[in-house]
């Protein structure tokens, strides 16, 4: 709970105090940071490192629930604030990765207990977070255009021009429903475009062989921050087009090429198979790994969870939890 409290405090402190931002200016703040470049601040790095805490904390609370009513209420409030904090960066992937992670933990490991929660406050708060998260995530498509001074009615024109695609137009659609249709088109492009841009690499038989720099770009950012090097910039410049997704297999290909990508995928698959075979009798850390890989596989047609939003943080924190549990078992 301590790390959860620390993350919530610093996430809101960084947004409201350090950035001097407001809740109605979240998207505007994100666009500003895109123009000015990454801050490379210590508090920013700290928040990135702990951004995987909310889903991890919630999952552990399901495995080992607090007995004290006060502690349960405190954990619910912290999880609520932690999930809301995921939107302070102006993105939405952290929310959906975390949501799917917690849902998988619930329905895979507590399937026999999937009755409606008797804790109405908990149920209301979680439902509210999910509802607000989905609505806000869809609204981000519109807000980003408005913040850039663009006409929302021209969203589809922009998408066609910038990405060289054709979009079916409904001529008789009312202007009231046009933004909704535009958002749905953007959502469709958002979750399917990775195959198109991955194909460019195969057509050219090109892989920059970043040796983990694509999936673990945060490490390159940290090294750059400490040493003053430009590993992240060099890696970014070797990508054919930045700002697009390349699927999880595509991410492995970018990092390790054909052969290395196949080997990496095989190792992950074997590890996942091993964890699956042990689900009936395994430690909490095994369950956390199983869920993480499952989430990565479910998102794999879109992007690599490891290199997205709080996916890297989840990977590091679960690794740390695993080593810590091993040390505790050896000591006992």
Report which DSSP code applies to 91.
Answer: -
Indicate whether 15 and 129 sit together in one domain: yes
Indicate whether 222 and 130 sit together in one domain: no
Res. 217: pLDDT tops 90? no
Q: Is the pTM of this model over 0.85?
A: yes
Question: 56-65, 225-234, 302-311 — which is least confidently predicted?
Answer: 225-234
Indicate whether 27 and 135 sit together in one domain: yes
User: Who wins on pLDDT, 315 or 196?
Assistant: 315
Question: 10-24, 114-128, 145-159 — which is least confidently predicted?
Answer: 114-128
Determine the Cα–Cα distance for residues 183 and 161; give it in Å rounded to an integer: 17
Q: Which of 257, 261, 240, 258 is nearest to 194 (CA)?
A: 240
Residue in the block written with tokens 């770009």: 217
Indicate whether 328 and 230 sit together in one domain: yes
Indicate whether 133 and 21 sit together in one domain: yes
pLDDT computed for residue 153 by the predictor: 76
Domain boundary among 132, 150, 168: 150
Indicate whether 4 and 107 sit together in one domain: yes
Domain boundary among 106, 128, 150: 150
The CA–CA distances, whole Å, from 138 to 32, 45, 88, 141, 144 equal 20, 27, 15, 6, 11
Res. 317: pLDDT tops 90? yes
Q: Is 314 a domain residue?
A: yes
Indicate whether 109 and 25 sit together in one domain: yes
User: Who wins on pLDDT, 118 or 162?
Assistant: 162
Q: Is 186 a domain residue?
A: no
pLDDT computed for residue 297 by the predictor: 95
CB 282 within 8 A of CB 274: no
Indicate whether 119 and 1 sit together in one domain: yes
Report which DSSP code applies to 320.
Answer: H
pLDDT computed for residue 35 by the predictor: 64
- How many domains is the chain partitioned into structurally? 2
Q: Is 138 a domain residue?
A: yes
Crossing angle for the helix pair 120-147 and 26-36, to the nearest 10 degrees: 50
Q: Is 198 a domain residue?
A: no
Most confidently modeled range among 65-69, 115-119, 184-188, 324-328: 184-188
Q: Compute the chain's Rg from CA coordinates.
A: 21
Q: Is 251 a domain residue?
A: yes
- Average pLDDT of the chain to the nearest whole number: 85
Q: Which of 171, 175, 177, 249 is nearest to 207 (CA)?
A: 249
Domain that holds residue 118: 1-150
pLDDT computed for residue 135 by the predictor: 85
Tens-place pLDDT, residues 240-273: 887 789 999 999 999 999 999 999 999 999 999 9
Band of the pLDDT at 116, cuts 50, 70, 90?
Answer: very low
CA angle 135, 140, 146 (to 5 degrees): 130
Residues 6+ apart with CB under 8 A from 56: 288, 314, 317, 318, 321
Tens-place pLDDT, residues 124-173: 777 887 888 888 888 887 888 787 777 777 888 888 888 888 888 887 77
Band of the pLDDT at 280, cuts 50, 70, 90?
Answer: confident
Q: Provide the token pair at 218.
A: 């945060």
Burial class (CB in 10 A: 0-12, 13-18, 19+), 67: exposed
Q: Is 156 a domain residue?
A: no
3-state secondary structure of 297: helix
Band of the pLDDT at 119, cuts 50, 70, 90?
Answer: low
Q: Is 179 a domain residue?
A: no
Indicate whether 26 and 138 sit together in one domain: yes
Domain boundary among 128, 150, 172: 150
The alpha-helical segments, DSSP class H, found in the chain are: 2-13, 26-36, 42-50, 53-63, 69-85, 93-109, 120-147, 155-163, 178-204, 217-227, 231-237, 248-277, 284-299, 311-331
Most confidently modeled range among 24-28, 31-35, 67-71, 98-102: 98-102
């Amino acid at each position: 709970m301590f790390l959860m409290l620390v993350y919530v405090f610093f996430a809101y402190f960084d947004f409201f105090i350090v950035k001097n931002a407001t809740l109605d200016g979240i998207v505007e703040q994100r666009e500003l940071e895109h123009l000015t470049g990454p801050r490379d601040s210590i508090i920013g790095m700290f928040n990135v490192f702990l951004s995987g805490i909310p889903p991890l904390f919630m999952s552990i609370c399901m495995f080992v629930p607090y007995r004290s009513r006060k502690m349960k209420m405190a954990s619910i409030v912290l999880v609520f604030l932690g999930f809301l904090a995921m939107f302070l960066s102006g993105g939405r992937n952290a929310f959906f990765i975390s949501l799917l992670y917690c849902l998988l933990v619930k329905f895979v490991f507590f399937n026999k207990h999937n009755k409606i929660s008797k804790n109405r406050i908990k149920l209301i708060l979680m439902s509210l977070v999910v509802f607000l998260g989905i609505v806000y995530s869809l609204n981000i498509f519109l807000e980003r255009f408005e913040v850039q001074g663009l006409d929302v009615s021209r969203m589809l024109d922009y998408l066609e021009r910038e990405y060289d695609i054709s979009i079916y137009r409904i001529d008789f659609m009312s202007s009231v429903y046009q933004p909704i249709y535009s958002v749905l088109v953007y959502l469709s492009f958002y979750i399917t475009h990775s195959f198109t841009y991955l194909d460019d690499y195969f057509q050219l038989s090109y892989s920059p062989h970043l040796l983990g720099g694509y999936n673990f770009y945060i490490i390159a950012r940290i090294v750059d921050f400490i040493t003053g090097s430009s590993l992240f910039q060099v890696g970014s410049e070797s990508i054919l087009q930045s700002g697009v997704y390349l699927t999880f297999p595509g991410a492995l290909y970018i990092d390790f090429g054909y052969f290395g990508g196949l080997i990496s995928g095989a190792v992950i698959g074997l590890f996942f198979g091993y964890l699956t075979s042990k689900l009936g009798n395994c430690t909490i850390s095994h369950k956390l790994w199983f869920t993480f890989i499952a989430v990565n596989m479910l998102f794999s047609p879109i992007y690599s969870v490891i290199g997205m939003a709080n996916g890297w943080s989840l990977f590091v924190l679960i690794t740390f939890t695993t080593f810590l549990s091993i040390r505790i078992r050896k000591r006992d």
